[in-house]
Amino acid sequence: MLDRWLSHDYPRSRVLAGVLLAILVGLALAPFLFPAVKALSVAAKILIFVVLVASFDLLLGYTGIVSFAHTMFFGIGAYGVALSSSHWGASWGSLLAGVGLALLLSLLLSGLIGLFSLRVRAIFFAMITLAVAAAFQTLASQLSEFTGGEDGLSFRLPALLMPSTEFSDEPWLGVMLDGRLLSYYLLFGATLLLWAALLRIVNSPFGRVLQAIRENEFRAEAIGYRVVVFRTLSSVMSALFACLAGVMLAIWLRYNGPDTSLSFEIMMDVLLMVVIGGMGTLYGAVIGSVLFMLAQSYLQEGLRLASEASTAWPVLAALLSPDRWLLWLGLLFVLSVYHFPTGVVGRWRSLALRKADRDAQNQD
């Protein structure tokens, strides 16, 4: 059963396996281990970005496609839920209709972008996707009567998913059993399912062809594979998973706006998470999402404590000011890339491989 779930793609490192197990347990028990509102929100965002980053890794790490329109599909998923719930009411029917329409729109747009743009060189494709994403964000901001404009849309979900719905009068293990808890575990289950589906895709014959195209597309074309078709299919699949990540975001926040799901900053964050975790390995999406979201959420607080503890050294206290958290985040990213050029997962796997080779040599 485990072989089928992991598609025979194991961590191949005891350290990585231990860290992944700790992350799985931590996220599964997050409402009980970290009941604070901020901590639970961080855990929910990690779940959402694991799916989003893994879907982008399907493009960048496994197929070698650089696209800046990925968050557009993320926003389509979020707006699909927001618009359907706002205009058609807080029902399961409107929620499912919004998800279905968002997936359909993502399918059409990603297919068109793939067919018309993937024939050009990589840098031109990246510029085309950047222009399309910018146009879509502008469109979402300008259609204020429909999308809420810059203010976005706040909406209600079916009663079961609303925090005001309580399933028990008394807390269980110190946590109220309410709609917020149900929403979190809905996200948790969806993340496991979608991540496992992506793992299955990249380890299938289709995924092997994508990796062959990444390594040498001319050779892949020469042996009979239609490179444009496979790259287009990869683009479509990636877009659909990103769309579902946007659906998860909207369900958790019950709000969506241009800056929430369509901003270019989100695209850059996703790119950083892929690089930090390790491209071409879905385990890297998990590691990168956890490290980046924790740093983004708690670095300011850590700097504040460090600045207060170093008041005796004014220059050091100024450097550790919480206002400079972006400087330190950038420094941490540079250091991580320098020490882990293949990402955290790639580094751990290479160390495990070297250890295995040394053990084999010692046995001989």
Q: What is the pLDDT along the chain (364 residues), one digit of tens a residue?
A: 555 556 667 788 888 989 999 999 999 999 988 888 888 999 999 999 999 999 999 999 888 888 888 999 999 999 999 999 998 988 899 999 999 999 999 999 998 887 776 666 667 788 888 888 888 888 888 888 888 888 888 999 998 988 888 888 777 777 878 889 999 999 999 999 999 999 999 998 898 998 888 888 888 888 888 888 888 899 999 999 999 999 999 999 999 998 889 988 899 899 989 989 988 889 999 999 999 999 888 888 888 888 888 887 887 778 888 777 778 878 888 887 777 778 888 888 888 888 877 777 777 6
**Domain positions in the chain:** 2-363
Distance CA 282, CA 271 (A): 14
Opening angle at CA 317, ends 313 and 319, nearest 5: 120
CB 284 within 8 A of CB 57: yes
For residue 83, give both structure tokens: 């618009």
End-to-end CA, the chain: 34
> Taking the CA of residue 161 as centre, how many other CA atoms within 13 Å lie in the half-sphere pointing to its CB?
20
**Strand pairing category for 255-256 and 153-154:** antiparallel
For residue 201, how many other CB atoms are within 10 A of its CB?
19
CA distances from 196 to 30, 60, 111, 121 (A): 21, 18, 24, 31
> Taking the CA of residue 207 as centre, how many other CA atoms within 13 Å lie in the half-sphere pointing to its CB?
18
Q: Which CATH number describes the domain made up of 2-363?
A: 1.10.3470
CB 154 within 8 A of CB 255: yes
* SS3 track for the chain: CHHHHHCCCCCCCHHHHHHHHHHHHHHHCHHHHCCCHHHHHHHHHHHHHHHHHHHHHHHHCCCCCCCCCHHHHHHHHHHHHHHHHHHHCCCHHHHHHHHHHHHHHHHHHHHHHHHHHCCCCHHHHHHHHHHHHHHHHHHHHHCHHHHCHHHCEECCCCHHHCCCCECCCCCECCECCEHHHHHHHHHHHHHHHHHHHHHHHHCCHHHHHHHHHHHCHHHHHHCCCCHHHHHHHHHHHHHHHHHHHHHHHHHHHCEECHHHHCCHHHHHHHHHHHHHHCCCCHHHHHHHHHHHHHHHHHHHHHHHHHHHHCCCCHHHHHHCCHHHHHHHHHHHHHHHHHHCCCHHHHHHHHHHHHHHHHHHHHHC
For residue 116, how many other CB atoms are within 10 A of its CB?
12
